[in-house]
Amino acid sequence: MTTAAPLSPTPRTTLTRSRERAATDRAELADVLRETLVAHLGVTVGEGDDAHPVVLPVAIAVDLDGPDEGGSLYLHGSVAAGWLDSVRGRTVCVTATHLDGLVAARSGFHHSMNYRSAVVIGRCRVVEEPDERARALDAVVDHMVPGRAATLRPPTRKELAATAVLAVPLAEASLKRRAGGPVDEPADVEAGGWAGVIPLRTVAGAPEADAWSPAEVPADMAARARALGAR
């Protein structure tokens, strides 16, 4: 996949409100997904009158060169999960949101939030090919802590049998973002009062070893903590 190819709106991904906030750069979509530690998978489970929507938190990884159209968004799950059969070969929705700021205006109506939000819609497939499964599982670990997978023992057959790896194509997606301060009515600005933004970001603490770890924090963990703002 080339990240230079723009996102092309489809009937399912075209914004219906605040269209000026849409982004069409696939590189920006990839950046938002790469920064996402927990995404949310939306799927319909059950049949007939018992069918109902479920939204689940999932660990993810992004492979822009994956075999799916537009690249692959990998999702990590358990084969024991009750929703697994509901996503096999069906269309799902995966969302990722970064909250960058609380926007306080001079009226309740104009309060807002600064954010970056991605929505991916596609037919979900269960990854069964052994080499792709191995790459995807390593990618999920490295998505959490870059370089970590290479330091770990290989997964056992039992672990592999218990783990589900899903893939959703990145071909159909939308990206929306808001930045900046409040947009107040001129009369409210003239009337006075404070307005502005409280910036937000995810900040890590220092790594905390378990009781059986060596005293020295490994390089991959220290680097990841620093990248997330640990002091």
pLDDT tens, position by position, 69-114: 999 999 998 888 877 878 888 899 999 999 999 999 999 999 999 9
Domains and CATH numbers, the chain: 19-102+113-180 (2.30.110.10), 201-231 (no CATH)
pLDDT score of 212 more than 70: yes
pLDDT score of 81: 80
pLDDT at residue number 12: 80
Confidence category of residue 5, pLDDT binned at 50, 70, 90: low
The C-alpha atoms of residue 124 and residue 44 are separated, in whole angstroms, by 12
Mean pLDDT of 167-196: 94
pLDDT score recorded for residue 228: 94
Mean per-residue pLDDT of the chain: 91
pLDDT at 21 over 80: no
Specify the pLDDT at position 142: 98
Scanning the structure block, which residue is given the tokens 């069409």?
A: 24
Report the pLDDT value the prediction gives residue 22, as an integer from 0 to 100.
67
**Both structure tokens of 73:** 């968004």
Residue-wise pLDDT for 144-164, tens only, equals 999 999 999 999 999 999 999
- Report the distance separating Cα 55 and Cα 40, nearest Å: 6
Torsion region of 192: left, alpha or beta (phi above 0 gives left; psi -120 to 50 gives alpha): left
Least confident of 6-15, 136-145, 182-191: 6-15
3-state secondary structure the chain: CCCCCCCCCCCCCCCCCCHHHEECCHHHHHHHHHHCCCEEEEEEECCHHHCEEEEEEEEEEEECCCCCCCCEEEEEEECCCCCHHHHCCCEEEEEEEEEEEEEECCCHHHCEEEEEEEEEEEECEECCCHHHHHHHHHHHHHHHCCCCHHHCCCCCHHHHHHEEEEEEECCCEEEEEECCCCCCCHHHHHHCCCCEEEECCCCCCCCCCCCCCCCCCCHHHHHHHHHCCCC
Specify whether the CB–CB gap between 151 and 220 falls below 8 A: yes
Q: Which of the four pLDDT bands, split at 50, 70 and 90, describes residue 4?
A: low
Indicate if the pLDDT at residue 2 is higher than 50: no
